[in-house]
Amino acid sequence: MPLKRPSVQWPWHGLLALILLGLAIGLWVATKRVNYEWRWARVPQYFFYQAEDTQAAPVAGTINKINPNGAYSQVDITPANGGQAVSLTVETDTLKVKIGDPVAEGDGIGAQRHWKIGPLSWGLWVTIWISFVSGLIGLFIGLITGLCRLSPNPALRGLAVFYIELIRGTPLLVQIFIFYFFIGTVLNLDRIVAGIGALALFVGAYTAEIIRAGIQSIAKGQTEAARSLGMTAAQTMTHIVLPQALKRVLPPLAGQFISLIKDSSLVSVIAITDLTKSGREIITSSFATFEIWFTVALLYLVVTSLLSQLLFWLERRFARSD
C-alpha cells in the first residue's frame, strides 16, 4: 500500500471559490438592502482629472481671426486702441467667441485643459514619502537603540530599555497626539515634522528589538575570531556582526516597515493629508463612501504587496552568500 496517496486538490479549490463568491454575493445583497447606489465612475477623477484653465482676453478689442488647427484653435484679437494683434490658443470645443465679436479685457475666450493630480494620488504620495522618511529615521534610531540595549554601560542600556518600553507600552495614536500637541507646541514643530517624528520614534523602538535579536543571533565565535585578528570591539561590530545581523533581520524589518505604511494612516488625525485623510475629504464632497474606502484600502494593499515582493526578492538575493 502506498504510504502517500496523491491528494486530490481541486475540490478544495472549488470550495475556496465558492466561499469567496458567497462573500461577494453577501456584500452585494447587503448594499442592496440599504439601497446603496454604487457610483464607481466618480472614483477615477480623484486620481487624475482635467483642469480647465480659462483663457481671458488680455485687452479689449475685436476677434479678428479664428484659425482652427485640430483640437486647438488660434484666436487673434485686434486691440481697440490699435497696436499689435494679440493671439491666444484655446481648445476648439471650449471656444466661446466668433469672428467679429467684440471682447472686453478679461472676457473668457475659451479654455486650455490639462491633467492634474487628484487628491487620492496626492494622498498616496504623502503616505509613501512620510512612511519612507520615518522608516529611514526609525531604522537609524533602532540601530542606535539596539546597540545601546546590548551595551555593557548600564546608563545606555537603561535608557534604551526605558525608551523601548515606553513606546511599546502606549498606543501609537496617543503618541501622535502627544507628539503633536505637546512636543509640537513646545518646540513649535510643523505638523508634518511632528507626524514623521512620532512614526519614527514608534518604529524605532520595534526596530531596536529586531536588531538586538539579530545581533544576538550571530555566534559569539564570529566576534572572537574578529577580535583575535586584531579588530577592536567597534570594528568587529561594523565589519562582522552588523552585516550578518542585518541580513538575517531583513524579513522582520520588512514586516515592520509594511506595518509602518499602514500605521501611518493614523497621522491623518493631526490633519496631515495622507491617503486616509484624502479619502475622508473626498467622501464629504462625493458621497461615494463605500467606493472611496474600498479604493483607499486597495491602494494600501497594492503598496504593501509591492513592497513585500521587493523585499522577498532582496532576501533571496542576499541569501545567495550564505
Partner 1 sequence: MTPFLEVTDIDIAYPPKRVVEGVSFKMAEAAIGCLLGPSGCGKTTLLRAIAGFEPVQRGLIWLEGVELSRPHWTLPPEQRRIGMMFQDLALFPHLTVADNVAFGLRSWKAAERWARVHELLNVVGLDEYAQRYPHQISGGQQQRVALARALAPRPRLLLLDEPFSSLDVALREDLAHEIRAILLREGIGGLLVSHDQFEAFAFADQIGVLNQGRLLQWDSAYNLYHRPADHFVADFIGQGVFLPGRMGEGSRVCTELGDIDGIPPAGCAPGDPVEVLVRPDDVTHDDSSPLMAEVVERAFRGAEFLYTLKLDSGARLLCLAASHHNHQAGQRIGIRLEIDHLVVFQRALGAMNEA
**x/- map, 175-214, partner 1, by CB under 8 A:** ----------------------------------------
Identity of the residue, 11 or 230, whose beta carbon is nearer to partner 1 in the bound complex = 230
Nearer to partner 1, 196 or 245 (CB): 245
CB of 313 to partner 1, least distance (A): 19
CA dihedral for 242, 248, 254, 256, sign (positive or negative): negative
CA distance 118 to 208: 38
Residue 228 in contact with partner 1, rule: CB under 8 A: yes
Residue 11 or 221 with smaller CB distance to partner 1: 221
Q: What are phi and psi of 50, to 5 degrees?
A: -95, 120
Number of residues that bind partner 1 (CB under 8 A): 20
Question: Whole-number minimum distance, CB 248 to partner 1, in Å?
Answer: 10
Q: Is 229 in the site for partner 1 (CB under 8 A)?
A: yes
Of 157, 191, 227, 280, the one binding partner 1 (CB under 8 A) is: 227
Q: Does 92 contact partner 1 by CB under 8 A?
A: no
By beta-carbon proximity to partner 1, the closer residue of 18 and 219 is 219
Name which position in 45, 54, 94, 222 contacts partner 1 (CB under 8 A): 222
For residue 239, which of 221, 250, 227 has the smallest C-alpha distance? 227
* H/E run at residue 277: helix 275-286
Asked if residue 219 binds partner 1 (CB under 8 A), the reply is: yes
DSSP string computed for 45-67:
GGTEEEEEEEEEPSS-EEEEEEE
Nearer to partner 1, 249 or 267 (CB): 249
Closest Cα partner for 259 from 214, 210, 203?
Answer: 203
Q: Which of 231, 254, 283, 307 binds partner 1 (CB under 8 A)?
A: 231
Using rule CB under 8 A, residue 322 touches partner 1: yes
| C-alpha pair distances (Å), 183 with each of 175, 179, 188, 194, 306 | 10, 5, 8, 8, 34
Q: Mask 241-280, x = binds partner 1 (CB under 8 A)?
A: --xx--x---------------------------------
Question: Shortest gap between Cβ of 322 and partner 1 (angstroms)?
Answer: 5
Minimum CB distance to partner 1 smaller for 241 or for 261: 241
Residue 274 cell numbers, joined: 495622507
Nearer Cβ to partner 1 (217/305): 217
Consecutive H or E run containing 76: strand 72-79
Q: Is residue 232 close enough to count as binding partner 1 by CB under 8 A?
A: yes
Name the amino acid, one letter, at 20: L
C-alpha to C-alpha distance for 67 and 76, rounded to whole angstroms: 8
Q: What angle do CA 101, 106, 112 make, to 5 degrees?
A: 85
Element of type H or E holding 168: helix 154-168
As a whole number of angstroms, the distance between CA 319 and CA 198 comes to 33
Cell of 261: 505604511
Q: Which stretch binds partner 1 (CB under 8 A): 65-73, 221-229, 269-277, 299-307?
A: 221-229
| C-beta of 99 vs 225, nearer to partner 1 | 225
Three cell numbers at 86?
A: 494679440
* Binding residues vs partner 1 (CB under 8 A): 219, 221-222, 224-233, 239-240, 243-244, 247, 321-322
